[in-house]
Amino acid sequence: MHRLSLKEDTMKESNMPKADFLMSILLIVFGITVMVTSINMPRFEEMDANPYSVPGVVPGFLGAIIGFMGLVLLIRSLIRKGYKLGITGQTVKNWAKEDSTRRLLLTLGLSLLYALVFIGFLPYAVGTVLFIFAFILVFEYKKGTPLREQKQMIWKAVLTSVISGVSIWVVFRYLFLVNLP
Amino acid sequence: MLEGLQLFGQSLLGFMQFKILVYVLLATELGIIVGMLPGLTATMGVALLTTLTFKMPTSEAILVLICMYVGAIYGGSRSAILLNIPGTPANAATAVDGYPLAKQGRAGRAIGIATTGSFIGTFIGMIILALFTPLIGRFALEFKSFEFFWLAIFGIVISGNLTAPKDPLKGWIAGFLGLFIAMIGMESSFAFIRFAKPGSEMSGGIALLPAMVGVFGFAEIITVMKQSAYEVVNTKIERVIPKFVEIWRNKWTIVRSGVVGTFIGAIPGVGEDIAAWVSYDMAKRSSKTPEKFGKGSIEGLIAAEAGNNACVAGAMIPVLTLAIPGSAPAAVLLAAMFIHGVRPGPLIMIEFPSFVYEVVVMVLLASAAMLILGLSMVKWLVKVLAVPREKLMPIIFVLCVVGAFAIQSRTFDIGVMVFFGVVGYFLREMDYPMAPLVLGIILGDILDKNLRRSLILSDGHLAPFFNQPIGLVLFFVTLLVILSKMKWFQNLMLGLKNLITAPFRKNKEV
């Protein structure tokens, strides 16, 4: 959606054959698994079923096509030398140091924590307020800012999370009569 | 035709109630805000509103959703012009000329032109929708299982082709993965549960809405948060209402973009972003001043916005006549229609003839609201863009969770949303487009039923797949779409063209 900077663009371009190489293997394995599972699906012969109408026909066909496209992708990535993955301790370290990686992992971690743990274990409104608060805090906190500013930021985060969390809860539950988790 | 006009008039009168008009204004304004905010797409907006409106009467609910759709596609032009960040992917082409205009201090003018272009685009789309839907509906009545099989394959192939122009193979892979996802759960002939343990939550299948909220909502949040923060520019906004001359000068560009946008919308799974780029490209090619494109060309801006908004109406044509979505937001709209008990498809002109014209009126109302709201309250609305994403994104994620959960009240669906969000994010990073995937989830059922039915009818022979006229045409078009991306085929065609034109060229030289 957003345009990438030139540096990011070329980096993405050079890593693509590697990503394709890994993805193609995944697709081939997936396609074969789907085909085998489809072949082993019941044929309902005792019910005198038409052999072309059994449940495995269409998924088997799809598995074959997915596997074939995986193969094409594999051949293409091999030509582009995608098998040279070049993953070393250093590249992983560099990746881990990048700011975008930190943001990615934080977003993923917080969201998964909320969707899979908070919901179900905490009351809906409490979990939601807590999640919004934690999210704002984690992303707006900057090292080295004066204590007074930090305090202000925390108060603003508390205010935003309580107002938005509670109003989502009230509006959906009582105004729109939507079931909430 | 006359009957159509009568039904149109009746529907229009039916909607002329104070409450409904308030809904129209509110939903369109909400749509504009959703469209403006990077990270909230039209698809997400329509999906979330589906949850909120499913207790409303059918026609009101669909009206609200269409207003959201039209508003969001238009609203994305605001952030494209002011921030150089398209609010929805549909407005990427808008940013190319809109942002330079804003930098030249003509932001207000750009907004006004984008608004008018969007309005006329939607209007052209609406007229084509009204004229063609009954025709295509009648034609679709001829479709039998062979034709529906080819239609499903054609939809996936063309959607993959156009949404991943650089690497169509990835588009096709995404589409076929989508078709596979539709296979999960209980099938219809023998009630056999495929790819899931009987009794598990998976055995009910993967629902479309949670999956869509995942790939278009959660995945987008991750993408936005990963990037470094954008700066909010403080541009002064002067006069917004455009001069009539400016619009009149570009009348052919608008009409062309409107027609092109509508037809691209009608192609299964090919949405507003492609419509905008194609109209933009065509405008550039036929322009007298192509050098201005990219530097603040009014023509380019108007082409992009007329194209993407016309696409909205176009995307509705296959939804109504074939139950196949023309774009990602239209896929949600289709799901919403099913939830509300309307069954779009070839029988729609027989079962619900007035519904087609109701949809036409809904598009009309939405575009009128868009024009009014778009030209007023500009300064006030721009403030929304100042909300930092650190505060906005967690709230949107909370809405994603609600949207996934609410329709069926299953915690499992939250898991589905999260899974599709994470997987969708990584697939998008590897250039796999998400629109064919979603189209696949919808077409999977059509493919399953019709391929099996066809095979029973033909007793396993493949000949009947190729000897019916409509099916044959669909097959050849599909084949051509695939071949057109192969290098050897392109070379072959070029060679053939040279061979055929050679005698004529010789004559000319003589």
Which residues of chain B neighbour A20 with C-beta distances below 8 Å?
A: 430
pLDDT in tens, chain B (510 residues): 678 889 999 999 999 999 999 999 999 999 999 999 887 889 989 998 998 887 889 999 999 999 999 999 999 999 899 888 888 889 999 999 999 998 888 889 999 999 999 999 999 999 999 999 999 988 899 898 999 999 999 999 999 998 988 899 999 999 999 999 999 999 988 889 999 998 899 999 999 999 999 999 999 999 989 887 766 556 667 777 888 888 899 999 999 999 999 999 999 988 899 999 999 999 999 999 999 999 999 999 999 999 999 999 999 999 999 999 999 999 999 999 988 988 898 888 888 889 999 999 999 999 999 999 999 888 888 888 888 888 989 999 999 999 899 888 889 999 999 999 999 999 999 999 999 999 999 999 999 999 999 999 998 898 999 988 899 999 999 999 899 888 888 889 889 988 888 877 766 554
Tokens for B366, please give them: 């939405």
Model ipTM? 0.92
Instruction: Nearest chain A residue to B190 by CA: give it.
Output: A55
Inter-chain Cβ pairs, chain A and chain B, closer than 8 A: 173
SS3 letters across B12-31? HHHHCCHHHHHHHHHHHHHH
What is the DSSP code (8-state) at residue A122?
A: B
Residue B481 located in a structural domain? no
Q: Indicate yes or no: CB of B399 within 8 angstroms of CB of A107.
A: no
Closest by alpha carbon to B376, among B13, B18, B32? B32
Return d(Cα A105, Cα B54) in angstroms, integer. Answer: 35
What is the number of other CB atoms lying within 10 angstroms of the CB of residue B228?
Answer: 9
- The reply to whether residue A181 touches residue B405, judged by beta carbons under 8 angstroms, is yes
Within 8 A of A172 by CB-CB distance, chain B residues are 52, 402, 406
B contacts of A49 (beta carbons < 8 Å)? 190
> Would the CA dihedral through B235, B237, B238, B240 be positive or negative?
positive
Check CB contact under 8 Å for B225 and A2.
no
Nearest residue on chain A to B185, alpha-carbon basis = A55
Q: Do A180 and B406 touch (CB under 8 A)?
A: yes
- Provide the shortest C-alpha distance from residue B406 to chain A (in Å): 5
Strand B185-186 with B193-194, pairing = antiparallel
Q: Measuring CA to CA, which residue among B14, B21, B64, B34 is closest to residue B333? A: B64
Residue A85 distance to chain B (closest CA, Å): 15
In a domain, B475, yes or no: no
Q: What is the DSSP letter of B232?
A: P
Domain borders along chain A are: 6-86, 93-175
- Which residue is listed with tokens 């839907």? B133
The answer to whether position B228 is within a domain reads yes
CB contact under 8 A, A116 and B414: yes
Number of domains in chain B: 1
Question: In whole angstroms, what is the distance from residue A13 CA to residue B28 CA?
Answer: 39
Residue B499 falls inside a structural domain: no
Q: Give the domain extent around B184.
A: 2-467
User: Are the Cβ atoms of A63 and B402 closer than 8 angstroms?
Assistant: no
Residue with tokens 């805000």: B33
Given an 8 Å threshold on Cβ–Cβ distance, is B225 in contact with A70? no
d(CA B236, CA B319): 41
B497, part of any domain? no
Closest CB to B398 among A1, A41, A132: A132
Most A CBs within 10 Å: which of B49, B148, B188, B226, as the mutation test of the A interface?
Answer: B226
